[in-house]
Structure 1
Amino acid sequence: MKRTIKHFLSLFTAVILVNCGNSGSLQGYYVEHQETKNFISQDFPLSMIEIDKSQFSEEQKEAYASVDKLNFLGYKASDDNVEQFNAELAEVNRILSDSKYQELMELRDKGNKISVKYIGTDDEADEIVLFGSSKDMGFGIVRVLGDNMSPDKMVTLIHALQKANIQEKQLDDIMNFFK
C-alpha cells in the first residue's frame, strides 16, 4: 500500500511540475512577466468597456456576447532596453509560431505589425490572440477568452470595434504606460 501511495505521489508531482513548468505557452509567458519591469498586465471583463453596440450586425452581437474577458500584457520599449525588447519580442513570436495558433489575419505598416491568431477549430475558438508590436512603443498581447467564439465572427467583431466609439479614458492606464 505504501508503495502504491508513493508511486501515486510521484506521478502527481510529475504532472504538477510539467503543467506548472509550461513556460512555452502564452499563458506561462503571461504569468512569468506580469509583474516584471517594463511590463504591464491587466485583466478585465469585456463588460467593463462601454461600447455602443447599436450599429452591430447580429453576427457581431453574437461574437461580442461570446467573449467573457480580455487578458492584456504589454511591454514598453525604450532606448535603454532595445536588447531586452528584441529578446522578449522573439520569445513571443516563438510561442505564437506554434502550430496550435492558427493565423486569422495579419496587418503590417511601417514597422508595425498586428496579427490575430486563434486556438481551436474553424467553427469554434478556445482562445483568440491579438498581438501588436512597434519598435518605437513596444508590444501588446490580448488574450480573448470566452465561450462559443467563432473565428469568422471575431473578424467581423474586430472590424466593428475599430469603428466603435470606445471611451478613451477606459483604456488610459494601458495607453499611458506606452507614452
Structure 2
Amino acid sequence: MKRTVKILGITAFLSLILVSCNSEPSLQRYFVDHQEMPNFISQDIPVSMVKVDKTNFTEAQHEAFNSVRRLNFLGFNINETNTAIYTDELEKVKTILKQGKYQDLMEFSDKGRKILVKYIGDDDEADEVVVFGSANDMGFAVVRILGDDMSPEKMVALAQALNNANLDESQMQDMLNFFK
C-alpha cells in the first residue's frame, strides 16, 4: 500500500511539473536570450532615472507615471549585411506578441514606421505594457513597461503626455545612437 501511494505521489508530482512547463516563447525569455547578441542593444531603465517635466500632467497621468517601476529596452539595428536575420527576429517578436495573453491597446503607422502597444492584464490593471516599433530602414525596438497597478487607459493618456513632454534625451542617447 505504501508503495502504491508513493508511486501515485511521484506520478502526480511529475505530471504537475510537466503541465506547468510552458512551451510558448515569452518576451522575457526573448530579452534574456538576445541582450548580448550582435546587432542588439539592451537597457534596463528605472523610471526614477527618467527625467520628465510633469508640470502639465493631469492627475491620471501622474498616477500612470508613478505606477511604472522600470523600462526594459531591446533594439535590433538593421544594416545591409543582416537583413535576413532582421526578418527572422522580427517574425519571432511578432509571433510572441500574437499570443492570446497580449491585448491590443493601440497601433499606428507613420512614414514606414509601425508602432504597436499591447498589454498583459485586464481592462482595469495591466501587469506589463509592451511597446513594439519597427521600421525596415532602422530595425525594431521592444520596450517592456513594468510596474504596479498600471491602468491601460491611463497608460494611453501617459503616452500622449510624454509625446508632448520635455524629455531629457541624453538619458536615451545610447539607444537613439544605436539606430543611426
Q: Under a length normalisation based on structure 2, what TM-score does the superposition of the two structures give?
A: 0.89
Match of 2:37 in 1: 36
Aligned-residue sequence identity (percent) comes to 52
8 A contact 1:23–1:29 mirrored in 2:
no
CA RMSD between the two structures = 1.9
Matched, 1:149 2:150: yes
8 A contact 1:116–1:130 mirrored in 2:
yes
In the TM superposition, residue 109 of structure 1 has moved relative to its aligned partner by: 1.9
Give the count of matched residue pairs.
176
Matched, 1:122 2:123: yes
| Structure 1, 1-10 or 154-163: larger mean CA deviation | 1-10
Quick one: distance in 2 between partners of 1:172 and 1:36? 20
- Which segments of 5 or more consecutive residues in structure 2 lack a partner in the other structure? none
Structure with max Cα Rg: 2
Q: Runs of 4 or more off by more than 4 Å in structure 1?
A: 1-16
Q: Under a length normalisation based on structure 1, what TM-score does the superposition of the two structures give?
A: 0.90
Quick one: distance in 1 between partners of 2:165 and 2:56? 9
- Which segments of 5 or more consecutive residues in structure 1 lack a partner in the other structure? none
The 1:121/1:12 distance shift into structure 2, 3 A limit, reads: closer
Amino acid at match of 1:75: F
Deviations along 1:28-83, whole A, 9 cap, x unmatched?
Answer: 11111011110011001111011111110000000001000000000001111111
Quick one: distance in 2 between partners of 1:98 and 1:14? 21
- 1:38-77 pair list within 5 angstroms: 38-77=39-78
Amino acid at match of 2:75: G
